[in-house]
Amino acid sequence: MCGRARCTLSPAQVARAFGFPTTSANADGGGDGPAVPALHLDRFRPSYNVLPGAYLPVGAVRSRPGCGDRERGADGEGPVIQCMKWGLVPSFTNKTEKPDHFRMFNARSESLKEKVSFRRLIQKNRCLAAVEGFYEWKKYGSKKQPYYIHFQDHRPLVFAALYDMWTNSEGEINHTFTILTTRASTSLNWLHDRMPVILGSKDSVNAWLNDASVKLEEITAPYEGADLVWYPVTFAIGKTSFDGPECIKEVHIGPTDKPISKFFAKKSIAYGQSGKHETMSRELAGTLAYGAAKAECDESVQNQPEDVNQQQSREKQTTNSTVKDEPVTLEPQVFEKPWSIKHEDTMTLTDATMKKQGDLGFKRTIKDIEVEADMKPCQPTKKEKAVKAACQASLLSYFARK
């Protein structure tokens, strides 16, 4: 249980919550005051954000010096409402020591009998603490969301507690108390693993305050009533200086209430992953396309007739042997002797003096023969054929291997 609570109760409301009589019997609990002794109530400051070290009204059955009580005997022992500081300081604490009220503001009910600070208080130093509600924090990632827990009908919560008295170096007697805790109820275990020991009925209140013979385990069991409700409140409740009705104002939280830094972080991660996936997809598609083309090529070669395959293999062997037996060399280009300007207009080919006539019966000049030669396709030589075949063979073998 976290050390925060709300207590804005009047003395009369506190007395009614403890089952003590009041001077008025108003149904709303707004009586003039308690009909039992009230000590140091002027120290109490109503607050929506009470923390350890603050004064709270506590109910106990103890001796009342100077006051006789017929029901309790001549020693004047009876119910009392007294303001005590929240956060137990054991009586054996050194007088010069500075008290730390945060050290023992809670006490585990399961281990009360094992610790000296609490074991000696179980029989005669039982008390009650009344508040309107308390706060608990639920961790969500790096943040903690506070919740306000209270009764649905807004009646006060009564906690089982233990008190003690400590005298400081100035001789002043200080009354302090601690609230007992137990395991969380079925409905509250999602919020925290511990909760205060809530005495939800008059019988449980009377048993804790007056019946020392009752089993401790029975009284300190978790409160399982369906009337205990809760809702989220502002993060400002974590500040000790924050007080007022805004402390218990309900706030709405949802899945969209996320820090903007997380939004951009997730978006950048998603973008990086998508880019990575896109690159991998392209590489995979290229690999699959190449594999499919290779398989198709191999299948087409296998499906050809046997004689065609044999002929291609023979041609390949012939080409390879030709290239091997007759290596390709580049010969220097020989240019013919230029014509002289003197005979440019009348000279004919020396070997072309065949005196052949064309279809129209006239001699063809050098110009006509040159035009015809340009129009005829150039027939490759044997060596050029060998070079071309070698190039084709090397390209086919390169793609086949790849």
Predicted confidence (pLDDT) per residue in 286-300, tens digit: 555 556 655 555 555
Q: What is the pLDDT of residue 292?
A: 60
Tell me what the mean pLDDT of segment 49-76 comes to.
74
For residues 294 and 40, which has the higher predicted lDDT (pLDDT)? 40
Residue with tokens 């502002």: 234
pLDDT at residue 64, as a whole number: 67
Residue type, position 155, single letter: R
Stretch 34-40: mean pLDDT: 93
In the prediction, which pLDDT does 32 show? 78
Q: What is the pLDDT of residue 335?
A: 47
Nearest one of 160, 202, 196, 162 to 16, comparing CA atoms: 202
- Percent of the chain exceeding pLDDT 70 equals 57
4-64+76-134+154-229 in CATH: which number? 3.90.1680.10
Residue 222 has pLDDT above 70, yes or no: yes
Structure-model confidence comparison of residues 145 and 333, the more confident one: 145
Q: Alpha-carbon distance 357 to 304, whole Å?
A: 52
Q: Which of residues 220 and 331 earns the better pLDDT score? A: 220
As a whole number of angstroms, the longest Cα–Cα distance in the chain is 167
Average pLDDT, the chain: 76
Residue labelled with tokens 């390169």? 398
CA dist 155 and 13 (Å) reads 9
Mean pLDDT value of segment 119-147 = 94
Mean pLDDT for 121-129 is 95
Q: Is the pLDDT of residue 70 over 70?
A: no
Mean pLDDT of 249-269: 60
- According to the model, what pLDDT value does residue 132 have? 97
Share of the chain above pLDDT 90, in %: 51
pLDDT at position 341 is 42
Q: Give the mean pLDDT of 115-120.
A: 94
Q: Per-domain residue ranges for the chain?
A: 4-64+76-134+154-229
Mean pLDDT lowest among 199-208, 246-255, 325-334, 378-387: 325-334
pLDDT at 62 over 90: no
DSSP class of residue 87 equals S
E-assigned strands of 252-333? none
Residues 6 or more apart whose CB falls under 8 angstroms from that of 206 comprise 19
